[in-house]
Amino acid sequence: MKNMTKIGFSLDMVNVHHQEPNRNRYESKYYWDELYPMIVAAGFDAVEIPFDPFWIFRGGSGVPFTKYCVEIKYDKVENYVNYLKSHGIEKIAGIQISPIIFMRNDNLDFYFGATQYFAGEAIRYAKELGCDYVNFSPTPPVGLVHHYHGKNDDWDNWSAEFLKRTVQLINDLAKIANENDITLVLRNEYWSFLRGDNIVSFLKDVDDSVRLDMDAAHASISGQNPSETLKNRANLIGSVHLTDTAFVDDAEIWKTALPEYPQHRATQVFRDLGFGNINLAEFYQTLQSVGYNGWTIVSCRQTREPMRALLRSRSCLNQIIQPS
Amino acid sequence: MSNIRYAHMNHWKNIPYRKIDNFREFYYEDKTNVAYYSDWDRILRYQKALGFEGIELAPWDFPEMLPLFGSPKAFKEFANERGVEVSGLFHLIDKSHDRSHHKQTFEDGKKAVDILVEFGGKQLNSAPSNNYYGLRPLDRDQIKAAAEIITEVGKYATDHGVEIGIHNEFFLAINKENHKEYIELTDPRYVHYCLDTAQVSLLGEDLLDFYDTYHERICTFHLKDTATPNLPDEIRYSQDIEIVDDGTRWFWEPGEGVLDFKGLYKLMKKHKFKGWISIETDGTPDLLASMALTRYYIDKELNPIYS
């Protein structure tokens, strides 16, 4: 069987929101100018870019995570795309956006209004970048939502209403995506209201054009076998994330406000590729066997060192990809 | 009892853990120094060890800090247990030049005062305006509007035991040409001044002359050095200039730039300054190293002059 898999690398490996020595580099353009050729040197010619409105308000336009930032540094989006191409990055496969930034108070109108506005912006921006998809997290972490809204007496009913509004939000975004020839894909995170198989039934309530993302680590932490889940959802998949983890959620960390950081026992939930426990070779072979021909994005979102993550990932891929 | 209490302006970004109990295990996962910068327990212990008994917070800390701790009060108690108290909070007087936005600006100011009170802090250090780029020079009426609204927030702050301090920055719309005019238009009963030594010098003010002139207004300091005072207009007025494309730094640890801190401390002694001084090392690649370097300079060079 011919290998149809298109592989890209997610720029979410650059952790701009958390402290570590030398983190300040990430806010200046020179860091990214140095990074792009390294991505190519590691054998990747496509990327996925996070869309992070924080960098609109913060004034840190060196971080290329919004249209605003890119237009300040490159004048036009087209110039940015050409800049990447001139450095060997041929394709921006997709954009990922999470509404977590807007879950910061008890005002749901603010949450839905801001999310709809900026996710719409992300989709239109994706069109300009030449992307194929926008990967959207349908809900913030359950625990974070509960932090701001948990005082409601009937949490179950409140949650049901929240998800009804989420359906409307996603249908509105699907309309924008369809108008821009972008596939809207829903990310199935282990901390989501829609974790596990909940997202499959949720998908029936939204526009038919909306697809699912398949993320190996998130599936594993949710208690699913990533390869089996991939097989079962093969006809629903719009994008794939090749991720690794050794984390087992035996303390319902998924319900906490900061589920990426288990407070009872600190750990790097998302490991560099090949440094967790997921059978990535089997997962990759399953991608082939189900005939998946969309984008597969390598993500090392909690890596301690992006440059090393690139090389570790390439090393891992060299082991799991059999020559066709 | 010292006249000066030292605090650290929080630029740690998000710290995702309260307290890591499995420190060695966490370290061994990847054997990097990330383990050393991931929990508030250790961050606050570093501060205490280096003699910074205050922490000045900023609004960008809250989206993770508040869900992590549950409330400002919980963070306050956690910090107090480690010998650190919240000294202040940074704030932006958003769209201060625009009276049509003042109702919202005032509400934002009230919220900032209220949350600072919950944290137990006293200093609301406030940027007086948005950036110069995009606004261009403010006219006289816009400067008056900006002074009016910070005075209104200042009245509310004063009523709640908080001192609002103007914290000017070299790239803001209140800039070299209208900085003093703006200060004079604010009401000194309610509006004080947080003297950021580097920002004011980058702006083009003479640090010692400025302090000597306005010492009665100055309620606190942001202590930091710069190697490039008196920046030209074309830099100060350019877009998103705080973080430079090539990694140029505007801010350095005291003693690593060119400012006359010994002269400043002689003036503090003359004017009998009493209050919080926050060291601020935005732009450093290593906040802990900067903190230690600053502590050494304070102990060796500045404390003998005034403490």
Distance CA B117, CA B124 (A): 10
Which residues of B fall within a CB distance of 8 Å from A27?
Answer: 243
Give the residue on A whose Cα is nearest the Cα of B63. A104
Which residues of A fall within a CB distance of 8 Å from B131?
Answer: 59
Q: Closest Cα of chain A to B20: distance in Å?
A: 6
- Candidates A19, A58, A72; nearest CB to B12: A19
What's the confidence (pLDDT) of residue A18? 86
Distance CA A143, CA A191 (A): 8
Which residues of B fall within a CB distance of 8 Å from A17?
Answer: 13-14
Distance CA B7, CA B64 (A): 21
- Beta bridge mates, A245: A270
Say if A114 is an interface residue toward chain B (CB within 8 Å): no
Range 24-63 of A in CB contact (< 8 A) with B = 24-25, 27-31, 58-62
Say if A305 is an interface residue toward chain B (CB within 8 Å): yes
A2 pLDDT more than 70: no
Q: Closest Cα of chain B to A244: distance in Å?
A: 14
Say if B67 is an interface residue toward chain A (CB within 8 Å): yes
- Candidates A23, A25, A72; nearest CB to B239: A72
User: Among residues of chain A, what percentage have pLDDT more than 90?
Assistant: 90
Distance CA A252, CA A99 (A): 22
Q: Please choose, from the candidates A72, A62, A185, A78, the residue with its C-alpha nearest in 3D space to the C-alpha of residue A127.
A: A78
Say if B30 is an interface residue toward chain A (CB within 8 Å): yes
- Candidates A73, A101, A304; nearest CB to B34: A304
User: Are residues A18 and B16, on separate chains, in Cβ contact within 8 Å?
Assistant: yes
Which residues of A fall within a CB distance of 8 Å from B287?
Answer: 19
Q: Closest Cα of chain A to B13: distance in Å?
A: 5
H-type alpha helices, chain A? 29-41, 54-57, 67-74, 77-86, 108-129, 142-149, 155-179, 198-203, 216-221, 226-232, 280-289, 306-320
Mean pLDDT across B16-39 = 96
User: Are residues A144 and B67, on separate chains, in Cβ contact within 8 Å?
Assistant: yes
| Per-residue pLDDT reduced to its tens digit, B178-202 | 999 999 999 999 999 999 999 999 9
What's the confidence (pLDDT) of residue A1? 47
Mean pLDDT across A271-286 = 97
A5 pLDDT more than 90: no
Q: Please choose, from the candidates A281, A274, A276, A284, the residue with its C-alpha nearest in 3D space to the C-alpha of residue A248.
A: A276
Say if B239 is an interface residue toward chain A (CB within 8 Å): yes
Distance CA B40, CA B46 (A): 10
User: Are residues A28 and B242, on separate chains, in Cβ contact within 8 Å?
Assistant: no
Which residues of B fall within a CB distance of 8 Å from A261?
Answer: 16-17, 38
Say if B38 is an interface residue toward chain A (CB within 8 Å): yes
| Per-residue pLDDT reduced to its tens digit, A90-144 | 999 999 999 999 999 999 999 999 999 999 999 999 999 999 999 999 999 999 9
| Per-residue pLDDT reduced to its tens digit, B82-119 | 999 999 999 999 999 999 999 999 999 999 999 999 99
Segment (H or E) for B248:
none
What's the confidence (pLDDT) of residue A58? 64
Q: Please choose, from the candidates B288, B295, B278, the residue with its C-alpha nearest in 3D space to the C-alpha of residue B223.
A: B278
User: Are residues A28 and B243, on separate chains, in Cβ contact within 8 Å?
Assistant: yes
Report residue B110: phi and psi, to 5°. Answer: -60, -45
Q: Please choose, from the candidates B250, B280, B260, B129, the residue with its C-alpha nearest in 3D space to the C-alpha of residue B206.
A: B260
Q: What is the residue-wise DSSP string for B8-72?
A: EE----B--BS--S-HHHHHHHH-SGGGGGSBHHHHHHHHHHTT--EEEE-GGGHHHHHHHHSSH
Residues A277 and A245 sit within 8 Å (Cβ to Cβ): yes
| Per-residue pLDDT reduced to its tens digit, B224-240 | 999 999 999 999 999 99
Say if B107 is an interface residue toward chain A (CB within 8 Å): no
Say if A73 is an interface residue toward chain B (CB within 8 Å): yes
Look-up: residue for tokens 């029936």?
A204
What's the confidence (pLDDT) of residue A153? 79
H-type alpha helices, B62-125? 62-69, 72-81, 102-119
0.90 exceeded by pTM: yes
Mean pLDDT across B272-286 = 95
Tell me how many residue pairs between chain A and chain B have CB atoms under 8 A apart.
103
> Which pLDDT band, with edges at 50, 70 and 90, does A4 fall under?
low
Give B33's contacts (C-beta < 8 A, 6+ positions apart). A20, A21
Which residues of B fall within a CB distance of 8 Å from A19?
Answer: 12-15, 37-38, 287
| Per-residue pLDDT reduced to its tens digit, A171-216 | 999 999 999 999 999 999 999 999 999 999 999 999 999 999 999 9
Residues B156 and B108 sit within 8 Å (Cβ to Cβ): no
Give A160's contacts (C-beta < 8 A, 6+ positions apart). none
The ipTM, to two decimals, is 0.95
Q: What is the residue-wise DSSP string for A266-284?
A: ---SEEPTTSSS--HHHHH
- Candidates B30, B66, B286; nearest CB to A268: B30
- The length of chain B in residues reads 307
Give the residue on B whose Cα is nearest the Cα of A272. B30
Say if B18 is an interface residue toward chain A (CB within 8 Å): yes
Which residues of A fall within a CB distance of 8 Å from B284?
Answer: 24
Q: Please choose, from the candidates B167, B68, B181, the residue with its C-alpha nearest in 3D space to the C-alpha of residue B112.
A: B167
Look-up: residue for tokens 């998302």?
A270
A59 pLDDT more than 80: no
B289 pLDDT more than 70: yes
What's the confidence (pLDDT) of residue B109? 98
User: Are residues A261 and B17, on separate chains, in Cβ contact within 8 Å?
Assistant: yes
Say if B159 is an interface residue toward chain A (CB within 8 Å): no
